[in-house]
Amino acid sequence: QVQLQESGPGLVKPSQTLSLTCTVSGGSISSGSYYWSWIRQPAGKGLEWIGRIYTSGSTNYNPSLKSRVTISVDTSKNQFSLKLSSVTAADTAVYYCARVTPGNDYSYYFDYWGQGTLVTVSS
């Protein structure tokens, strides 16, 4: 059973860089045709996709966040990470990591999720 766990600071100051890591257990991050993704959810609001990475290092990002986002992978540690720069209060949210599985018709879905971690942007 694949499990994902987010970790990182719960409080980030405005204009600084938010950094989170997702540790994958129960399987190798490099096995299978999976991507690995970050999704966030502000309190009381819906889900927002941030981006995804393949173990080759290939990435796709949400166009609205692309200029500020970097997702990387460390296969030796079975981890992938998120960096979001120049944060503001609008970036306050619960951040989830998830496994991305290919579906039909070149579609993708999230079959395993971490429990989520709240990141607050405040001085």
Partner 1 sequence: SYVLTQPPSVSVAPGQTARITCGGNNIGSKSVHWYQQKPGQAPVLVVYDDSDRPSGIPERFSGSNSGNTATLTISRVEAGDEADYYCQVWDSEVVFGGGTKLTVL
**Can you give the binding site for partner 1, defined by CB under 8 A?**
37, 39, 46-49, 52, 60, 62-63, 96, 101, 103-111, 113-116
With respect to partner 1, which residue has the nearer C-beta, 21 or 60? 60
Burial class (CB in 10 A: 0-12, 13-18, 19+), 54: middle
Q: What angle do CA 93, 10, 82 make, to 5 degrees?
A: 70
| CA–CA distance, 47 with 55 (Å, rounded to integer) | 24
Least Å distance between CB 38 and partner 1?
A: 11
Least Å distance between CB 86 and partner 1?
A: 21
Least Å distance between CB 89 and partner 1?
A: 21
